[in-house]
Structure 1
Amino acid sequence: MKFVDEVTIDVAAGQGGAGCCSFRREKFIPFGGPDGGNGGRGGHVYAVADRNLNTLVDFRYTRRHEARNGEAGRGSDQFGAAGEDVTLRMPVGTIISDAETGERIAELLTDGERIILAKGGDGGFGNLHYKTSTNRAPRQKTPGWPGEAHALKLELRVLADVGLLGMPNAGKSTLIAAISNARPKIADYPFTTLHPNLGVVRVGPSQSFVVADVPGLIEGASEGAGLGHLFLRHLQRTRVLLHLVDMAPFDDEVDPVAQAKAIVGELKKYDKDLYDKPRWLVLNKLDMVPAEERAARVKDFVKRLRWKGPVYEISALTREGCEPLVRALYQYVAALNAPPIEEPDVRFAEPEDAPVPPAADDPRFR
Structure 2
Amino acid sequence: MTSIDRGPAATRRGTDFAELSRVIRRHGLLDRRLRSYLVKFAVNAVLLAAGWTAFAVLGSSWWQLVTAIVLALAYTQLAFIGHDAGHKQIFTGRRGNDVVGYLHAGLVGMSYGWWLGKHNRHHANPNHEDEDPDIRISVLAFTGVQATAKRGLARWLARHQAVLFFPLLTLEGLGLHVSGVKAVWRREVKAVPLEAALLAAHAAGYLAAVFWVLPPVHALVFIAVHQGLWGVYMGCSFAPNHKGMPTVPAGQRLDFLRKQVLTSRNVRGGRVVDFLLGGLNYQIEHHLFPNMPRANLRHAQPLVQRFCANNGIAYRQTGALDSYRQVLSHLHAIGAPLRRTKGQ
Normalising to structure 1: TM-score of the pair? 0.20
Give 1 or 2: higher helix fraction.
2
**Highest Rg: 1 or 2?**
1
Give 1 or 2: higher strand fraction.
1
Normalising to structure 2: TM-score of the pair? 0.21
Whose relative contact order is higher, 1 or 2, with alpha carbons under 8 Å and at least 6 apart?
Answer: 2
